[in-house]
Amino acid sequence: MTSKSIDINECKEKLDDCAPEAKCSDRNGSFTCRCLPGYSGDGRFCNDINECNTNVHNCNPWAVCNNTVGSFNVDECATSTHDCHGVAHCFNNPGSFSCECRKDYIGDGIACEPNGDFSVTIRNISQDKYHATTVSRSVKSIQEAVIQGLNEDLTVLKSTFEWSVVSEMELAASESALGTLVSQGTTEWTINRRSIPAGIYQVKFNTTITVGDQESPRMLYAFDYGFIEVIAAPVRAIIDGGSSVRWGSKNIVTVDGSLSYDADIGPGIHTGLNFTWTCRNNTSVSNTCFGSFHDEGNLSSAIIRIDPSRLETDKTYFLRLTVSKDVRSSFAEMSFAIAAGEVPQVTLRCFVDCGAIVSASNKLRVTSKCLNSPCNGSSYEWRLSKLNGSKWVNISILPNMTSTAVNASNMIIRKNSLQSKSKYNLTLFVKSLEGTYGFSMFLFETAGEPHSGYCTPSVSEGVKPSSSLDPCVSSPVQVANKLKSLVVMEGNKLDGFLNKGELSQAVQLGISVIKSTNEKSECGKELDPQDKALIFSTLITKFTAITPENLEMSRLVMSVVSLAMGAEVDVNDNSNNDNLELTMQLTESTSSMMISTLNDPEEPFTPALELTATSVTGCLTNVLKSAAGSSQDRADSAATTPSQEFVKKASEKLSSMSDAFFGRLVPSEDLVLKTPHLVISLKKVTANDAKGLSMGDGPSKFKLPSSLGNIGGGEINAKMQAVDFNPFTWDSSSKKIKSSVTSLELKSNSAEKLNVSNLDNDIEIVIPISNPPKNSSNTTQHYFLKPDCISFRSFYADLAYVPVSLRLGLAITGVEIEMRIKFGQRPTMVNFDHNFTFMFKSKCDNQTVVNKNCFTKDGSVKVTPSKPGFLHVGLLIKGSKNESQHSRQIRSCFDHRRERRSCVGVKDPPPKGVLKTMVPQYDPNTDINYTLTIIQSSCLYWSEETEKWTAEDCRVK
């Protein structure tokens, strides 16, 4: 008999005696017990192992180890291995974690969204704290928020916009950290360079909008957020002089690395920077530049000297500057070739706003210096090449590409003349009179086309506001009410745009309303001046209340303010002082922002700067025009009126703003800021180029004499300003001004005015007369003089105390002419106010060339009337009988004389009278042709000391 045994699974039937912390394993006929991981023992008795105490855990060194029975717990919250949202709390649980959105956010903790009454979105920012948007401390950037989801039927009464940043530490320590307020009042926030320390920050944009009506307003709240990681800026190594140069072997060369800087601090400060110089050739590296470093004990300096005579000629070396600080470092290299003897030693510098990568949409300015003796009398030639694959291809420098010639000492490449995302080589060759040459090369790359981001409109034209009114059918009052409903009345559309931060739409609407208010309908109707003034004044008030965050925003705001103020001046001839003050405050803040940008060498010289300057000029021009009109109305007031102060402040602001641009101009470069009523022309020149300099825009211009005497060396800043109205009207002398007002300033680079007195020749200024006198005598007339007769001419002087110029011209020489002048009546031989004698001589006495053309000099004088009235001129050939004979005979101009008779006779009856007009006839044998020009036009200038217009030391041609 055979028996079969049946195995019993003690583990499954729970017949084992294993410890609860052990695992039971069935065996044939038996079972085994083994303690679970985290326990020790024989399986029937198991004890917990503390992995945290015995260091057998695998926690991160910076993590917290919490021992649990049987194992250990990883704190995912502490080790950031969780997937909670950046604005959620992470809670560690045994063996796991949980997430919960913070206050003011809704979601499951894995995804959290702002909880608000409408939608707000910050553009192009990450909401993931662990993948934050990178922001470099050395780069200016802009954050913009957009308000969405707000019911358009709601009437917006008021709004507030606030930007704040919350550091990572603050965010962890507080349920709803308020953070630091960084901007308010607009939907844009400009992150200026070095304004925020390195680290991770939450950026919040909060907005509160009051809607409804004034009696029962309702407040709505919304916000959006994102995360930025501000990273430390690099150190920048810069070798001044060019990417590649050629030196002669005789002269010691100075190499300057002092332009290097820590971008976390800014240019000009070397605190903490370490400088290291090395050299290499094609085969080896040398810390002493193969023995050519002139002062080997000073190789940690920013400036070193190299002795090329210690190097081999006709070979190329590479100089490297390494700049380091903490864990950051960078290097720059310059290659230099050694030539035998002396060659022109030229260096290049890309001026201010450029680096290894430049923007093709900006001007590229490269200046040169050539200081050693071979540079004297040398010639210059610029060459440009572009990298095409692995080959450099020469590019012709066409006149339309540059503002300077190819043989000039500096090079200015116009904006948009180079291709984007390309590598270029700009080289200057300098050839001496002896035929030796030197060169300096500048290698650069143009930036690629922008990607991602967003665009903001540049408003120059508005969109005509929709209206169901036909201006030819509707009355002007109806049209005015419709326009006022858009910008003035309660619940207007303009406030809706502004309160939602929609500046571009508000600007478009504002410009459109101004144009619609100003235009005359096809049927000739136009709005009442009071309605116009109300609309314009309202727009000025609302737009000047905006605090611009950047230059682009300033330009948008000023486009409306300038247009509105100009239109207001056209309606009223002046503007109220409140609007003048508001406009001055706006231009003050914008000018300060712009001047700060111009003075910052890290800021590029973009077209936006010029456009902003033109907008500022337009606003200040309107201030001048309005204030000048007000001053004219109060010309009799003895006290200084507010309008006079506005003229002075606006003039000073125009001057300081335009002067700031000189810091960005290179010699031979000019800049014009032009508005409809005012033009500012700027030009930087060398002292030599200032001789004979001409400047001007349109009809107004000036020319300096070719000999200016000793005006020193260096660079000269020339500024010409022409305004087509008279800003200085508070003195009665302003009535003399009949032309545009032009000013000319010559200053050194240190802003000191140059002394150009005692010139051999005059400074010529051409100023067109805008309102020429209607006096018909302001022309040149041709007459003739008889030997024994006074010739009379008269002229009406319109203005008192304004000189009258008289110029007498003859076609022959060797003649003296006497001129007598009398105000109010004809002069006689004994009764006159002025007496002048002109001696006409040839300009070319003692000539030696046969048939040489010779001319007589004109005789010119000036007299000044004390009141408007006639000025009478009598001309007489000096030495004629009329002057020398003193008999009692009655003389006639026609040789008819009464003779003394020796006897008394009876008179014949008088003949019958005959009316006969006697016209003097020209006798070529005795008479003299002459020309006489009389004009009352004066060169006047505004004296800041006396605050009057004066003609002292001015002459009119």
Q: According to the 3-state scheme, what is the secondary structure of 867-909?
A: CCEEEEEEEEECCCHHHHCCCCCCCCCCCCCCCCCCCCCCCCC
Question: Does a structural domain hold residue 627?
Answer: yes
Sheet of 180-184: strand order equals 133-136, 217-231, 199-212, 156-167, 180-184
Cα separations in angstroms, 307 against 279, 303, 322, 543, 952: 13, 14, 20, 63, 60
Is there a single domain that holds both residue 737 and residue 596?
A: no
One domain, residues 526 and 599: yes
Residue 430 parent element (H or E): strand 423-431
Distance, in Å, from the CA atom of 483 to the CA atom of 476, rounded to the nearest integer, reads 11
Count Cα neighbours of 756 within 13 Å in the Cβ-side half-sphere: 22
- Mean pLDDT to the nearest integer, 848-870: 71
CA angle centred on 451, ends 445 and 456, rounded to 5°: 110
Render pLDDT for 559-593 as a digit per residue (tens, 0 to 9). Answer: 999 999 888 877 765 567 888 999 999 999 999 99
Q: Which of 181, 202, 231 is where one domain is finished?
A: 231
What's the rounded Cα separation, in Å, for the pair 553 and 456?
10
Please report, as a single letter, which amino acid is at residue 802: V
In the predicted structure, residue 246 carries a pLDDT above the cut 90: yes
Percent of the chain's residues with pLDDT above 70: 81
Model confidence pLDDT, tens digit, residues 149-162: 887 778 888 899 99
Per-residue pLDDT of 503-544, as tens digits, reads: 999 999 999 999 998 887 766 778 888 899 899 999 999 999
Q: Rounded mean pLDDT of 417-444?
A: 94
Q: Are 211 and 156 in contact (CB under 8 A)?
A: yes
Instruction: Give the bridge partners for 385, in sequence order.
Output: 394, 425
Whether residues 580 and 525 fall in one domain: yes
Name which residue leads in pLDDT, 928 or 769: 928
- Identify whether the C-beta of residue 331 lies closer than 8 Å to the C-beta of residue 346: no
Measuring CA to CA, how many Å separate 45 from each of 25, 27, 638? Answer: 16, 20, 111
Q: Which residue has the tokens 């050693």?
A: 372
**In the structure, what pLDDT confidence band is assigned to residue 819 with cuts at 50, 70 and 90?**
very high
170-174, 339-343, 348-352, 449-453: the lowest-pLDDT one: 449-453
Q: Which of 231, 260, 276 is the last residue of a domain?
A: 231
Q: How many residues does the chain have?
A: 957
CA distance 777 to 767: 20
* % of residues, the chain, pLDDT over 90: 37
- What does the longest C-alpha to C-alpha distance in the chain come to? 212
CA triplet 61, 67, 72: central angle to 5 degrees? 75
**Domains: count for the chain:** 5
pLDDT, tens only, 463-474: 455 555 566 657
Q: What is the DSSP string of 469-517?
A: --TTTS-HHHHHHHHHHHHTSTT-HHHHHHHTT-HHHHHHHHHHHHHHH
- Cα separation, 288 vs 279, in Å, equals 7
Does 822 lie in the same domain as 793? yes
Query: Is residue 71 pLDDT above 80, yes or no?
Result: no
Range in 362-376, 439-453, 765-779, 909-923 with the lowest mean pLDDT: 765-779
**773: pLDDT strictly greater than 80:** no
> Is 269 a domain residue?
yes
| 3-state SS, residue 535 | helix
Residues 185 and 304 in one domain: no
Mark which of 231, 261, 289 sits at the end of a domain. Answer: 231
Given a contact cutoff of 8 angstroms between Cβ atoms, the answer to whether 640 and 574 are in contact is: no
In terms of residue numbers, what domain contains 762? Answer: 665-767+950-956
d(CA 749, CA 684): 9
Same domain for 626 and 721, yes or no, is no
Q: Which two tokens stand for residue 301?
A: 């300096």
What is the model's pLDDT at position 280? 94
Residue 690 CA to residue 296 CA, distance in Å, equals: 44
Question: Of 38-52, 605-619, 778-792, which one has max mean pLDDT?
Answer: 605-619
Q: Which of 429, 335, 425 is nearest to 374 (CA)?
A: 429
Mention every residue, 6+ apart, whose C-beta is less than 8 A from residue 153.
none
pLDDT tens for residues 80-103? 777 788 888 888 877 677 888 888
The candidate with the shortest Cα–Cα distance to 144, out of 226, 42, 87, 32, is 226
Both 257 and 321 in one domain: the answer is yes
Name the residue with higher pLDDT: 486 or 939: 486
Residue 106: pLDDT over 60: yes
pLDDT at 223 (0 to 100): 93
- Do 199 and 152 share a domain, yes or no? yes
Give the closest residue to 776 by CA, choosing from 935, 937, 939, 932: 935
| Residue 842 pLDDT | 66
Backbone angles phi, psi at 712, to 5 degrees: 80, -175
- Residue 277 included in any domain: yes
Least-confidence region, from 40-44, 859-863, 907-911: 907-911
pLDDT of residue 919: 66
Inter-CA distances, 782 with 367, 776, 932, Å: 56, 14, 7
| pLDDT average, residue stretch 117-125 | 91
Residue 545 near residue 610 (C-beta atoms within 8 A): no
Secondary structure element (H or E) that encloses residue 623, with its range = helix 607-633
pLDDT digits (tens, 9 = 90+) for 354-400: 666 888 888 888 999 998 999 999 999 999 999 999 999 999 999 89
Angstrom distance (rounded) from CA 660 to CA 161: 33
- Asked whether the beta carbons of 268 and 238 are under 8 A apart, the reply is no
- The answer as to whether 714 is a domain residue is yes
Mean pLDDT of the chain: 82
In the predicted model, is pLDDT for residue 834 greater than 80?
Answer: yes
Evaluate if residue 20 carries a pLDDT over 50.
yes
∠ Cα 39 41 43 (to 5°): 95
Compute the average pLDDT of residues 658-671.
88
* C-alpha–C-alpha distance, residues 66 and 77, integer Å: 13
Bridge partners for 839 per DSSP: 816
Check which CATH number belongs to the domain holding 127 and give it: 2.60.40.10
What is the radius of gyration, based on Cα positions, of the chain?
A: 44
Contact present, 281 and 299 (Cβ < 8 Å): no
Tell me the pLDDT tens digit for each residue of 265-295: 988 889 999 999 999 998 899 999 999 998 7
301 and 289 in one domain? yes
Q: Are residues 752 and 837 in the same domain?
A: no
Q: Is residue 459 part of a domain?
A: no
| CA distance linking residue 171 with residue 227, whole number of Å | 11
Q: How many CA atoms lie within 13 A of 343 on its CB side?
A: 23
Residue 762 confidence (pLDDT) above 90: no
Assess contact for 712 and 687: CB atoms under 8 A: yes
**Interior CA angle at 651 toward 650 and 653, to 5°?**
65
pLDDT for res 917? 56
Residues 805 and 718 in one domain: no
**Calpha distance 403→415 (Å, rounded):** 10
Judge contact between 155 and 213, C-beta under 8 A: yes
Contacts of 571 (CB under 8 A, 6+ apart): 529, 532, 533, 536
The single residue listed with the structure tokens 């012709």 is 396
Residues 804 and 845 in one domain: yes
CA angle 812, 815, 820 (to 5 degrees): 120
Residue 465 in contact with residue 518, Cβ under 8 Å? Answer: no
Q: What is the pLDDT of residue 815?
A: 86
User: How large is the average pLDDT for residues 422-441?
Assistant: 95
617, part of any domain: yes
pTM over 0.85? The answer is no
| 328-339 and 244-248 strand pairing | parallel
- Please state at what angle helix 529-544 crosses helix 503-518, rounded to 10 degrees: 160
Judge whether 897 lies within some domain.
Answer: no
Band the pLDDT of 621: cuts 50, 70, 90. very high
Which is nearest to 567 in space by CA: 524, 604, 534, 600? 534
Q: Which of 241-255, 308-322, 339-353, 763-777 has the lowest mean pLDDT?
A: 763-777
Task: Kindly state whether residue 495 falls inside one of the protein's structural domains.
Answer: yes
